[in-house]
Amino acid sequence: MSKVVFITGGTSGFGKEMAKIFAKDGYRVVVTGRRDERLQDLKDELKDFDIYTLKFDVRNKEEVDRAINSLPERYKNIDILINNAGLALGLEKSPEASIDDWEVMIDTNIKGLLYITKAILPIMVERKKGYIFNIGSTAGNWPYEGGNVYGATKSFVQQFSFNLRTDLKGTNIRVTNLEPGMAKTEFSNVRFKGDSKKADSMYEGIKPLLAEDIAHLIFTLSKLPEHVNVNSLEVMPTCQSYGPLVVEK
């Protein structure tokens, strides 16, 4: 029987491309999202493959538990969990940033990831098999102006991934924290709250990562032998690199 992959935030960007690549390889794919029309569009696009969609908000623990408990039998034994749902809001420096934006990032990037992981872990632990991918960010490793709480949430994702792997010793469950750098998806449109012109300006004159690149990486890692665990993988577009430390004079 084919394996089951469970992808949060699967209606656009990284998640959508992951759903496509796994579905076309014969996986049974569970895709979650908050937007009915996007979920239906994905089902229509992949109508020849085994796709099951769940509409809920990862920030709501009751919705998370209810959705996962409602899975039909053929989708219950989740082999791969991809915690992809996440977002950045705003690029203001901390004194000017919105506390509401900070709370949404914390609720989505941290608490949402925890709710999903806690709900699915028992399935994997009981079967003594599984692979968890958490989508972190280079922002969790390297600060930048306006990254404040977004970067902090991704630092949490990294450390939680490491600690989760430690706690799962002896269960044969693998955990990888994948940390993309600059990538062109709807990410910046969300960050700038629908200002497409501002979002597009972030990528002018450069060749950023694409959603397909990250989906391909996840897919490739998932195919490694079960005795191989990549703890953390940071990936940037070639045009992106490290900058000097700032010294104020």
Quick one: pLDDT at residue 208?
Answer: 95
Model pLDDT for residues 114-159, shown as the tens digit of each residue: 999 999 999 999 999 999 999 999 999 999 999 999 999 999 999 9
Side chain identity at residue 229, one-letter code? N
Round to whole Å and give the CA distance between 155 and 234.
13
Ordered structural domains, the chain, with CATH: 4-235 (3.40.50.720)
Q: Could you confirm whether 150 is annotated as catalytic?
A: yes
Confidence of residue 76 (pLDDT cuts 50, 70, 90): very high
Quick one: pLDDT at residue 118?
Answer: 98
Strands 28-33 and 51-55: parallel
- Looking at 27, 144, 150, 203, which residue is catalytic? 150
Name which residue leads in pLDDT, 200 or 156.
Answer: 156
Confidence of residue 229 (pLDDT cuts 50, 70, 90): very high
Q: What whole-number percentage of the chain has pLDDT above 90?
A: 88
**Contact assessment for residue 164 and residue 118, using Cβ atoms and an 8 Å cutoff:** no
Q: Given a cut of 80, is residue 195 above it in pLDDT?
A: no
